Every structure is written in structure tokens, then in C-alpha cells.
Amino acid sequence: MPKWWEDEPIRFECQPDCFKCCMKPGVVTFDRGDIHEAAKFLEIKTSDFKRKFLKKEFGVYEMEMEDGQLCQFLTLQGCNIHPAKPKQCHTYPFWQENLRSRNHWQLVAGFCPGIGQGPVIPVEEIKQRLKDFKG
């Protein structure tokens, strides 16, 4: 049985100067590839990147933003590591939890102004983003 979003076109485009997803409390996970790419982009060793920006919880490297705390990479111009941002950020808002139901997607749209804007996102691209970040 197809998912609701396979039968219904979904539009999405990040909105200029939004950054709302970067200001939300939560945890961003970094896998080995994410760490490598971000460290390379910042021109530092992966060990330095992990020590400076991440903590390891239950074998997973993560960066935690508590209430009132912004992502460490957010600047007035946007994401300081945008070309090398982790999969979790790159795939937003196309996460399993957000696409669980049409109603849940609409709840996320109340937070994310890019939902419902811009081009229709092809189903194959949505599937790829879901595959890239399992959450």
C-alpha cells in the first residue's frame, strides 16, 4: 500500500533567512561520514571536530541543543557548514516521524514555513532522503 505522500504531491523549499529548524531544541546526530565531511570543510582533524563540537552517547556522536540554545554552526548568514551539514539536517523535513501521516505533516508545516512552498519534490527524492536519514 502506497504511503500518503506517494499519491499526493508535496512541495517544499527552504525559505530565505528562516533557520527555524536550526533554532529548535533537540539532538543532531553525526555518523562517521558526517564527521569527516564537516571536519574537512572546517579544515580541522576529525578528532578535533569531535572534541570541540560533539559528545558521544551510547556509541553515537551527537550535538545537543537545549531550550534557548542555537546550533553551534548557525550564523546570521545561515549554516556555517551548509555544504557539509549532517544528513539529519540535509534531509529535513523528510523524516519518517514527519511523514507518518498527512496530519502530522501539517503539524510540522505549522513550524516549517518551507512546507507547501516551492517545487513539487519527486517521490524518489523523498524516498532517498528517508533512506539517507533513518532518525
CA distance 30 to 9: 30
**Mean pLDDT along residues 66-85:** 91
User: Buried b vs exposed e over 109-123: b needs ≥16 C-beta within 10 Å?
Assistant: beebebbeeeeebeb
What is the predicted pLDDT for the residue at 135? 65
Average pLDDT over all residues of the chain: 94
Q: What is the enclosing helix (H) or strand (E) of 118? A: strand 115-120
What cell does 100 get? 507518518
- Residue 113 pLDDT more than 80? yes
Q: Write down the domain spans for the chain.
A: 11-67+84-132
Here the cell at position 12 is 517544499
| H helix runs in the chain, sequence order | 4-7, 32-42, 46-53, 87-91, 96-99, 102-109, 123-132
pTM tops 0.75, yes or no: yes
28 vs 12: CA distance, rounded Å = 21
Q: How far apart are CA 86 and CA 46, in angstroms?
A: 14
Q: Residue 5: pLDDT above 90?
A: yes
